[in-house]
């Protein structure tokens, strides 16, 4: 690429380039008669006149310098770069950035250059530069020092060779190269520059007493430097590092160190304890398939995963794992009593839900639509098969749950779309675009993904402002609608909507998400262990055919399917009860005298024709009635 193209890449306008830029163009084509200082001033000019972002600018200039080093620099490319490094401190603020830039460019050059005749001489020159930096004659930071030593492969012999003339000249006792470097490393440690110190110790193969140094780094929370040092020193220190992690209950760090350095045989108990901790976190998130894969068919870990499923009340997962891996002794094991599980998690009986209706044929769909159109408020939720492959597209939405006061309809979208797409489009249009029905929603996967979020506590709802709580009940269902529209692009029902009130955190959402909010308002959270079930599996059970009605109180449906449907129904049904709390709060305020919740202003719509004033008037009148 020529200079003209380079200027374009750096966003440098040709009209603003002064005549002196002709020197720059010549310098980048031939360095034979260009001194390092002139080159650096020209490089600075390119940087100043460039208008693109810093990272892109750095990469473009690095590529340009890489090409320039092929153009006959005086005394060779490696020596040319060292001489530039000697001069760069006079460029003030540009010194550090340009130093890293030209060193990186030289590294790229050395990877492709067949030979570099000046490299041997450049090593000694780089060793001299190192001495001058350490002694304070040249001002470069420790990061540049490390890169110089690594790029030029400066060894103790090079430093010793540079120091010999100084010994003869001064005619006095001067430290050996090793002693000089050790003193410099000690100064770095005193300044707590542990990573730089460890890098230099490793580069020069200097081994010191490892235990105390390792403990010092860990105490100062320099774990990466400690791991680098332990890896360099060998297995005994790596074992000490693992033990330090275990003593501090840093199981994740211990596990990674054990796995990376093949220390499973040395720490079998710790390794399994770390694996079990990882499995427990995955189970709490509902990622059972990932947890199962993480066991690598290890029987001890599989048995622990079964115990986690039993503890969560996920009995169908217990049966599934026992059957797949021939695990005995669990099927007859004592499982948590239903009363215990009900006390831990919210269930549909407490929400006074009477029916769950599976909808997978035309007649059931039409009946569901008529029932829903007679409701003023409904809860919406969706489920789809989780995708654990990073960067891959999300799977198609499999089912859609719509809950009224006492009934939850679960629509098999995959089957209905294949069998009767036009009727499905018409029925859902009547629901989603109705200005008479308030649709409540939740954000998919909102609970476990907020592990590191910072937000107000749910311990006292009265401390929330009315605006904050209303914002919590807004915006999230749009994510479900977007996923639905992406999954079924041929349907128009998901492209427009009326009267949506979404449940999501807009104030950095409280821990636990919807489950946490349900626990504070309704007295119990939601069981999320089945959150990542395979909802594309058809049929969901041997009994699932021809649109069946299951009555919760008689429990006349299969256990596996019933539990899956109950989970699917819960998120939609609980929204109705949360909304009742918000609506009551908006009418009466709270005992502490806080303002009322003005939730009505957060209802959103998205229609093609904003001039539909009749529908808007209906919408406003219905909101007033709520």
- Distance, in Å, from the CA atom of 616 to the CA atom of 597, rounded to the nearest integer, reads 23
392 neighbors 561 (Cβ within 8 angstroms): no
pLDDT of residue 19: 45
Weakest mean pLDDT among 155-169, 266-280, 325-339, 393-407: 325-339
- β-strand pairing of 497-503 with 604-606: antiparallel
| Phi, psi (degrees; rounded to nearest 5) at 567 | -60, -45
Token readout for 269 is: 């108990």
* Peptide bond before residue 14 is cis, with ω within 30 degrees of 0: no
> What are the tens digits of pLDDT across the range 545-596?
333 343 333 333 444 555 567 767 777 888 887 777 767 765 555 544 444 5
Q: Is the pLDDT of residue 172 over 90?
A: no
Position with higher pLDDT, 451 vs 294:
294
List, in order, residues 6 or more apart from 433 with CB less than 8 Å away: 493, 496, 497, 498, 607
The predicted-structure confidence for 424-433, as pLDDT tens digits, reads as follows 999 999 999 8
Task: For residue 46, name the pLDDT band (cuts at 50, 70, 90).
Answer: confident
pTM exceeds 0.75, yes or no: no
Q: What is the pLDDT of residue 217?
A: 92
Tell me the β-bridge partners of 399.
383, 412
Whole-number pLDDT of residue 474: 35
Across the chain, mean pLDDT equals: 75
Q: Can you state the percent helix, strand and coil of the chain, rounding each to 5?
A: 60, 10, 35
pLDDT at 452 over 60: no
Separation of alpha carbons 321 and 40, rounded Å: 66
pLDDT at 613 (0 to 100): 57
* Confidence at residue 430, expressed as pLDDT on a 0 to 100 scale: 93
Q: Which of 151-160, 173-182, 467-476, 504-513 has the lowest mean pLDDT?
A: 467-476
- Measured CA to CA, the distance from residue 512 to residue 458 in angstroms comes to 9
- Residue 403 has φ and ψ, to the nearest 5°, of -115, 130
Specify whether the CB–CB gap between 543 and 561 falls below 8 A: yes
pLDDT recorded at residue 542: 39
Q: If pLDDT is split at 50, 70 and 90, which confidence band does 310 have?
A: confident
User: Among positive and negative, which fits the CA dihedral 224, 226, 231, 232?
Assistant: positive
Closest among 208, 46, 426 to 197, alpha carbons compared: 208
Band the pLDDT of 330: cuts 50, 70, 90: low
- Cα dihedral sign, 264-269-270-271: positive
- Cα separation of 563 and 313, whole Å? 10
Q: Within a 10 A sphere around the Cβ of 303, how many other Cβ atoms?
A: 17
Confidence of residue 601 (pLDDT cuts 50, 70, 90): low
From the CB of residue 298, how many other CB atoms can be counted at a distance below 10 Å? Answer: 13
**Among residues 557, 484, 569, which one has the least CA distance to residue 530?**
569
pLDDT band at residue 339 using 50, 70 and 90 as cut-offs = very low
Mean of the pLDDT values across residues 331-335?
51
- What is the pLDDT at residue 479? 59
Distance between CA atoms of 589 and 592, rounded to whole angstroms?
A: 8
Residue 319's SS3 state is helix
How high is the pLDDT of residue 495?
84
In what helix (H) or strand (E) does residue 171 lie, and over which residues does it extend? none
Closest Cα partner for 335 from 312, 354, 356?
Answer: 312
Q: Count CB-CB contacts under 10 A for residue 142.
A: 17
Sheet hosting strand 549-551, strand order edge to edge: 549-551, 355-359, 407-412, 397-403, 377-384, 438-442, 497-503, 604-606
First to last CA, the chain: 68
Q: What residues have CB less than 8 Å from 166, skipping those under 6 apart?
A: 174
d(CA 199, CA 190): 15
pLDDT at 231: 92
Distance of CA 113 to the CA centre of its chain: 39
Higher model confidence: residue 441 or residue 191? 191
> Which residues 6+ apart lie within 8 Å of 115 measured at CB?
none
């Amino acid at each position: 690429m020529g200079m003209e193209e380079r200027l374009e890449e750096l966003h440098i306008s040709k009209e603003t380039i002064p005549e002196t830029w002709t020197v720059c163009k010549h310098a980048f084509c031939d360095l034979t008669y260009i001194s390092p200082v002139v080159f650096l001033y020209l490089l600075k000019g390119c940087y100043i006149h460039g208008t693109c972002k810093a990272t892109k600018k750095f990469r473009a200039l690095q590529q340009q310098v890489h090409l320039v080093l092929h153009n006959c620099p005086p005394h060779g490319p490696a020596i040319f770069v060292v001489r530039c490094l000697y001069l760069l401190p006079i460029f003030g603020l540009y010194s550090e950035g340009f130093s890293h830039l030209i060193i990186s460019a030289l590294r790229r050059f050395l990877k492709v250059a067949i030979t570099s005749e000046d490299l041997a001489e450049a090593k000694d020159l780089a060793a001299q530069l190192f001495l001058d930096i350490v002694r304070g004659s040249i001002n470069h930071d420790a990061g540049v020092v490390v890169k110089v030593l690594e790029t030029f492969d400066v060894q103790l012999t090079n430093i010793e060779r540079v120091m010999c003339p100084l010994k003869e000249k001064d005619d006095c006792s001067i430290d050996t190269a090793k002693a000089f470097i050790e003193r410099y490393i000690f100064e770095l440690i005193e300044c707590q520059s542990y990573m730089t110190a460890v890098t230099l110790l490793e580069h020069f193969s200097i081994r010191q007493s490892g235990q105390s140094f390792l403990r010092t780094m860990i105490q100062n929370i320099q774990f990466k430097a400690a791991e680098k040092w332990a890896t360099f020193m060998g297995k005994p220190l790596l074992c000490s590092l693992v033990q330090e992690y275990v003593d501090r209950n840093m199981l994740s760090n211990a596990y990674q160190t054990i796995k990376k350095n093949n220390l499973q045989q040395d720490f079998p108990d710790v390794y399994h304890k770390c694996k079990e901790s990882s499995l427990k976190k995955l189970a709490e998130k509902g990622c059972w398939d990932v947890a199962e894969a993480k066991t690598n068919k290890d029987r001890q870990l599989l048995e622990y995963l079964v115990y986690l499923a039993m503890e969560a009340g996920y009995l169908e997962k217990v049966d599934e794992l026992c059957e797949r891996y021939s695990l005995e002794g669990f099927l007859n094991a004592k499982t948590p009593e239903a009363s215990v599980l009900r006390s831990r998690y919210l269930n549909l009986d407490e929400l006074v839900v009477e029916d769950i209706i599976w909808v997978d044929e035309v007649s059931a769909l039409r009946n569901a639509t008529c029932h829903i159109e007679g409701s003023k408020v409904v809860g919406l939720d969706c489920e789809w098969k989780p995708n654990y492959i990073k960067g891959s597209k999300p799977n198609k939405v499999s089912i859609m749950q719509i809950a009224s006061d006492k009934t939850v309809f679960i629509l098999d979208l995959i089957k209905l779309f294949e069998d009767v797409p036009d009727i499905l489009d018409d029925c859902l249009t009547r629901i989603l675009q109705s200005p008479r029905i308030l649709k409540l929603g939740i954000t998919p996967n909102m609970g476990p993904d907020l592990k590191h979020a910072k937000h107000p506590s749910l311990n006292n709802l009265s401390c929330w402002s009315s605006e904050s709580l209303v914002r919590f009940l807004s915006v999230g269902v749009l994510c479900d609608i977007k996923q639905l529209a992406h999954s079924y692009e041929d349907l128009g029902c998901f492209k427009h909507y009326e009267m949506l009130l979404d449940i999501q955190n807009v104030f950095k959402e409280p821990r636990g998400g919807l489950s946490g909010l349900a626990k504070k308002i309704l007295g119990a959270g939601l069981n999320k262990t089945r959150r990542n079930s395979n909802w594309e599996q058809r049929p969901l059970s041997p009994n699932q055919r021809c649109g069946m009605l299951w009555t919760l109180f008689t429990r006349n449906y299969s256990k596996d399917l019933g539990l899956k449907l109950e989970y699917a129904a819960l998120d939609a049904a609980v929204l109705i009860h949360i909304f009742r709390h918000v609506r009551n709060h908006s009418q009466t305020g709270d005992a502490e005298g806080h303002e009322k919740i003005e939730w009505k202003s957060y209802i959103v719509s998205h229609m093609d024709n904003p001039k539909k004033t009749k529908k808007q008037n209906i919408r406003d009148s219905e909101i007033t009635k709520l």
